[in-house]
Structure 1
Amino acid sequence: MELPDPIKVVLLACGSFNPITNMHLRMFELARDDLEETGRYKVAGGIISPVGDGYKKKGLIEAFHRVMMARLASANSEWITVDSWESSQPEWVETAKVMEHHYEEAAAAEQKKDDVDTVKYLKKRGINSSLGEIYNPRLMLLCGADVLESFEVPHLWKKEDIAEIVGRYGLVCITRRGSEPHKFIHQSDTLWRHRKNIHIVREWVANDISAAHVRRALRRGQSVRYLLPDSVVRYIEENKPYTAESEQKNADVVLAPLERYTGAGAAGASG
């Protein structure tokens, strides 16, 4: 019996990347290994999408710097790229809308690769179908366990967006020692309903690098070498985007999702 061709997957990671760390890049490698070992998937690419300045997170430096550092960090990768569409938007864009944008981009790119004009053929046959339905490049959100658990933070996510992300696209969650993603999924009706679209990947080599810890070390004049790619360390040394003042940016500003979904809310979260 001939096995079906593996499903082509593009991994999308959204976040602050403030700054991008070795762990951010490591997540892509872990996810690719895990998905391809199932025999069901073939990872065709990875996209890093830094959030825009409109997110208003405390300590979030300008998108220009974060995009530049992400491009330097991924320069040696043959399959991970950086996309600046989200970061260039004047206002914060919900993750579900970012995924829709990249899904349409991937579908359009897949169409261009096809020598047969499938769309025209289907139209002649009177069949209405979207690009996604014809070419179906599978887009999955790549994240850490902290993002999965943030789905339950009041007013941070819209329930319909969560259902869209895990139901329509899929989620690859990199978990670390001490996190309990399966328990969290069990406790959420939405995540439980779409649990087959959630892939949990265990990181067995403990790695607790966080951007917040990196920024703290930089403010104190401590070395961050081997926590970040060397090219990113050099960029920070030359441009000095992280200071005591930059860490207080947006300190008294409401985080964009809280502002949008409540009209008021608490000040932006750190991290």
Structure 2
Amino acid sequence: MKIGVYGSSFDPITNVHLWTASTICHRKRLDKVIFLPSSNKRMDKEMNTSDDHRIAMIKLAIADNPKFELDTYEMNVLPGLQYTYYTMKYFKEKYPDDELYFIMGADLLVDIGEGKWKFGDELVKENKFIVMARNGIDMLGAIARSALLRNHDDQFQLVDKGLAMDISSTYIREELRMGGEPRYLLPDACYFYIKKHGLYQ
């Protein structure tokens, strides 16, 4: 099997997350995409709502797609172990006979190339990646400028989705906070869940 691991805050999950996962799944002929929400325990990110709410919304969002799956591994490990390097080790142990890819945006490729990721060297040397285009980021240039990425460029599959979709979770949170109406930017079930629980107010 070919499996993509799609890590993000999903705070909240949006239609762009789903469309991206679906596009990658189709173009790269993946058998499964695993949605991997980041933990509240992470030092480098501040979440805007609880792990439980984000898990509930992901479950609602992916319920009708048999190729989509949720894994809460990063939410359950001890603080200090929520690094992608350890996460990919976990998945390789869980799926020893399958081909695994970490799905990420081009902005993260740049960060890894600039040495901003913990265990970045080991991560790149030991894993394969599917990298999604982001507006204004030259993916080939980012690889060329980094010795680490350059020397392992066969680990990266670059995907230009052919359509810029820059609606972010941040935008949706801001709309909700300001009394806006972002209903059709996220799955209906998630929109109504947010309204029911008064999230992002």
Same-fold status (TM-score > 0.5): yes
1:101 aligns with 2:90: yes
The one-letter amino acid of 2:50's match is: E
Per the TM alignment, residue 90 of structure 1 is displaced from its structure 2 partner at its CA by: 4.2
Q: How far apart, in 2, do the equivalents of 1:63 and 1:163 lie?
A: 29
Cα deviation code 1:63-82 (max 9, x no counterpart): 11111111111111111111
Aligned to 2:22: 29
CA contact (8 A) 1:142 1:172 kept: yes
Q: Could you tell me the percent identity over the aligned residues?
A: 28
The one-letter amino acid of 2:25's match is: R
Q: 2:152 aligns with which of 183, 186, 194?
A: 194
Q: 2:108 aligns with which of 134, 137, 147?
A: 147
Q: How does 1:73-112 map to 2 (within 5 A)?
A: 73-92=61-80, 93-107=82-96
Per the TM alignment, residue 23 of structure 1 is displaced from its structure 2 partner at its CA by: 1.3
Aligned to 2:11: 18
1:58 aligns with 2:46: yes
Per the TM alignment, residue 207 of structure 1 is displaced from its structure 2 partner at its CA by: 0.8
CA contact (8 A) 1:49 1:86 kept: yes
Q: How does 1:102-141 map to 2 (within 5 A)?
A: 102-107=91-96, 135=97, 137-141=98-102
Q: Residues 153 and 237 of structure 1: is their aligned pair in 2 closer, same or farther, counting only changes over 3 Å? A: farther
Cα deviation code 1:142-189 (max 9, x no counterpart): 0111221222566x412xx32333332211011034221110010011
User: SS of 1:48's equivalent?
Assistant: strand
Aligned to 1:157: 117
CA contact (8 A) 1:20 1:211 kept: yes
User: SS of 2:172's equivalent?
Assistant: helix
Give the TM-score, by structure 1 length.
0.69
Per the TM alignment, residue 106 of structure 1 is displaced from its structure 2 partner at its CA by: 1.4
Q: How far apart, in 1, do the equivalents of 2:26 and 2:147 lie?
A: 29
CA contact (8 A) 2:25 2:32 kept: no
Backbone CA RMSD of aligned residues: 1.7
Q: How far apart, in 2, do the equivalents of 1:142 and 1:99 lie?
A: 11
User: SS of 1:141's equivalent?
Assistant: strand
Q: How far apart, in 2, do the equivalents of 1:59 and 1:45 lie?
A: 26
The one-letter amino acid of 2:88's match is: M
User: SS of 1:151's equivalent?
Assistant: helix
Q: How far apart, in 1, do the equivalents of 2:85 and 2:18 lie?
A: 22
- For this pair of structures, how many residues does the alignment match? 199
CA contact (8 A) 2:16 2:165 kept: yes
Per the TM alignment, residue 32 of structure 1 is displaced from its structure 2 partner at its CA by: 2.2
Per the TM alignment, residue 59 of structure 1 is displaced from its structure 2 partner at its CA by: 4.3
Q: Residues 191 and 176 of structure 1: is their aligned pair in 2 closer, same or farther, counting only changes over 3 Å? A: same
4+ residue stretches of structure 1 with deviation over 6 A?
none
Q: Residues 213 and 153 of structure 1: is their aligned pair in 2 closer, same or farther, counting only changes over 3 Å? A: farther
Cα deviation code 1:57-106 (max 9, x no counterpart): 23432111111111111111111111112112342511110111111111
Give the TM-score, by structure 2 length.
0.92
Higher-Rg member (1/2): 1
Per the TM alignment, residue 9 of structure 1 is displaced from its structure 2 partner at its CA by: 1.4
Question: Structure 1: any 5+ residue segments left out of the alignment?
Answer: 1-7, 37-42, 108-134, 244-271
